[in-house]
Amino acid sequence: MEYIELARPELPYEINEELKVLRANLQFCGDDKKVICITSCLASEGKSTISLNLACSLREQHKNVLLIDADLRKSVLRRKVVSGKVQYGLVHYLSGQCDLESILYRVKSNNLMMIFAGAVPPNPSELLGGKRMQELLKSARDTFDYVIVDAPPLGMVVDAAMVAQYCDGAAVVVSANDVSYRAAQDVVRRLDNTKCPILGVVLNKVDRRHSGKYYGKYYGRYYGKYYGEYGE
């Protein structure tokens, strides 16, 4: 098993508090909700950043967590690796080129387990909807306390729906003031068709400076701008 290090800046206090709320809400969904699909409507809404930080937040509670980068078309998590060699990824496993052990990587700083996307395939939807993906998630469900699956934007490609059918629940990341009601409803409809329970929506890039609340401008300053800098 290979060890890696990720470029993950220390989060401001206010963002950590929001992540704890998200973590608590997930845990209150029940202990049968272990494999969670994180998707969004569009690109650059912050789903990959939230997936990573949620996984790290769960690890802080000594949970055994696996983070799977299932965005096979446009992986962002691979770019965060600053040391350690990532040779094989999810694509290699799903296409039968390697075994499961070869794609597992352990993050040194917080003992988080990760699977990266790997090379861009010509058939991402077919790979994610195939039997090997189903078996991978079934095995991970039996091994880990939580499995966070960073899936592509469901409003743009069908890939996330292929993954969601094997998950225990899904959360949709929505960028405030960037996504129309109709687009969000369409993503909800697609998830409903997979029979995967929708656990909730993560409203991202929120500017609270004008909310009139005590912490308003602080959440607006950090929560909005910070996630905005990291794209997808």
pLDDT at 109 (0 to 100): 79
Q: Within 10 A of 170 (CB to CB), how many other CB atoms are there?
A: 27
pLDDT in tens, 155-190: 999 999 999 999 999 999 998 888 899 999 999 999
188, amino acid identity: V
Say which CATH topology domain 30-228 has. Rossmann fold (3.40.50)
Could you give the CA distance from residue 68 to residue 147 in angstroms, rounded to a whole number? 7
Domain chopping of the chain, boundaries: 30-228
Distance separating alpha carbons of residues 61 and 166, to the nearest angstrom: 25
Mean pLDDT taken over the chain: 88
- Check whether 53 has a pLDDT greater than 60: yes
Query: Which whole number is the average pLDDT over 35-48?
Result: 94
pLDDT band for 210, please (50, 70, 90 cuts). Answer: low
For residue 229, pLDDT beyond 60? no
Angle at alpha carbon of residue 146, lines to 64 and 40, rounded to 5°: 135
